[in-house]
Chain A
């Protein structure tokens, strides 16, 4: 892909990631009365970027989305949570992808788990509450479910948009 195209796509993806993130925030996903179960569709965009544009661009989209969301809607604590989740998730996905040992569903799931673990760790530190670990089972299960869903969606989307990302 030509660089100028990459940059343009990056812009679009950043906006898309932000919109997905905001929609998730608006719709309460209160399954079984436990908070923190989100589909992570913004993650889907990051992953798409990782697979089509490469790490630098994916990283940019992730960071920029977090910063912009913070400036527009959030507070410092939400920034910390997003940052922890986003950075860890991207790092894990990049490493896993690089090993070529896993496919998109695996990478997606690993990324979702990393995202949740990152956020859990931050909450552990901020709240000084060992009790947060009790949320781990639910977060892991949710990460598995949505990891698979997002992985499948990613495969689908990339198949359809294959031509767009070719040049």
Chain B
């Protein structure tokens, strides 16, 4: 095997290993979230509880649905529909993103409180 092929293999392996390391690092801190936030193009649209079932219409662009402690994108005006096909999320840090519409659904981390009084 010549050196270039070896380097190719090293490159691909390096990418995969970095990906796996990141995967482990990101998942170690997974905690159940309690609150999620919807942002549109960076601006906060609202914060909601993961535990109150409801459907939120985000300015006519898309529908965000909360059910059984999970949140998912029910419908969206975007062409691709990647966001609608994403699985429901519930852990802090998880997100569902609708790129074309600039909508981000993000479950907030454990830095948020379990109750606000």
Contacts and interface: CB of A to CB of B under 8 A. Distances in A.
Do A and B touch each other in the complex, judged by CB within 8 A? yes
Interface of A: 25, 28, 30, 32-36, 75, 77-78, 81, 100-106, 109-110, 113, 123, 126-129, 131-132, 134-138, 140-141, 143-144, 147-148, 151
Contact of B15 (A35, A77, A100, A113): A113
A129 B97 contact: yes
Nearest to B23: A137
Given A35-B99, A77-B100, A127 B39 contact: yes
B50 interface: no
Nearest to B5: A103
Contacts of B99: 35, 77, 81, 123, 127
A137 B20 CA distance: 7
B59 interface: no
Interface string B86-117: 11000001110101101010100000000000
B42 interface: yes
25 contacts: A28-B80, A30-B85, A33-B85, A35-B82, A35-B97, A78-B100, A100-B4, A102-B4, A106-B4, A106-B7, A106-B11, A109-B12, A110-B11, A127-B102, A129-B39, A131-B97, A132-B95, A134-B93, A136-B22, A137-B19, A137-B22, A140-B15, A144-B12, A144-B15, A147-B12
B80 A103 contact: no
B7 A127 contact: no
Nearest to B93: A134
B51 interface: no
Interface of B: 3-5, 7-8, 11-12, 15-16, 18-20, 22-23, 26, 39, 41-43, 79-83, 85-87, 93-95, 97, 99-100, 102, 104, 106
A132 B95 CA distance: 8
A129 B36 CA distance: 13
Nearest to A138: B19
Contact of B19 (A28, A104, A136): A136
Nearest to A136: B22
Contacts of A81: 99
Contact of A35 (B4, B41, B83, B94): B83
A45 to B, nearest CB: 21
A102 B12 CA distance: 11
Nearest to A109: B12
B42 A128 contact: yes
A28 B16 contact: no
Contacts of B26: 134, 137
Contacts of B18: 140
Contact of B93 (A77, A113, A131, A147): A131
